[in-house]
Amino acid sequence: MLELLQNLLTPEVKNSILRVAFVVIGIYAVHKFVIDRIVERLIRKLIPAEKFKLAEEEKQREDTIIGVTLTTLHILLWIVGGMIILSELGVDIGPLIAAAGIGGLAIGFGGQYLIRDVINGLFVLLENQYNKGDVVCFGDTCGVVEEVNLRRTVLRDLDGTVHTIPNGEISIASNLSDEYARVNLDMGVGYNTELEHVMRVINRVGNELAQDPEWKDKIKEAPQFLRVQEFGDSAIVIKILGETKPMQQWAVTGELRKRLKVAFDREGIEIPFPQRVIHKPSE
pLDDT in tens, 236-254: 999 999 999 988 999 999 9
Query: Would you say residue 256 has pLDDT above 60?
Result: yes
Confidence at 118, pLDDT banded by 50, 70, 90: confident
Span 36-47, average pLDDT:
79
Nearest by Cα to 186 from 205, 165, 202, 170: 202
Share of the chain above pLDDT 90, in %: 36
Q: How far lies 190's CA from each of 82, 194, 206, 233, 273, in Å?
A: 80, 9, 20, 10, 9
User: Could you tell me how far CA 201 lies from the centroid of its own chain?
Assistant: 39
- Asked if 234 contacts 272 with a C-beta cutoff of 8 angstroms, the reply is yes
Q: How far apart are CA 239 and CA 182, in angstroms?
A: 12
User: Could you tell me how far CA 173 lies from the centroid of its own chain?
Assistant: 7
Span 83-108, average pLDDT:
64
Query: Would you say residue 2 has pLDDT above 60?
Result: no
Confidence at 53, pLDDT banded by 50, 70, 90: low
Q: How far apart are CA 201 and CA 99, in angstroms?
A: 77
Span 21-34, average pLDDT:
82
Q: What is the pLDDT of residue 267?
A: 92
Q: How far apart are CA 19 and CA 12, in angstroms?
A: 11
CB proximity list for 147: less than 8 A, separation 6 or greater = 132, 153, 154
- Tell me the residue length of the chain: 283
The one-letter amino acid code at 53 reads K
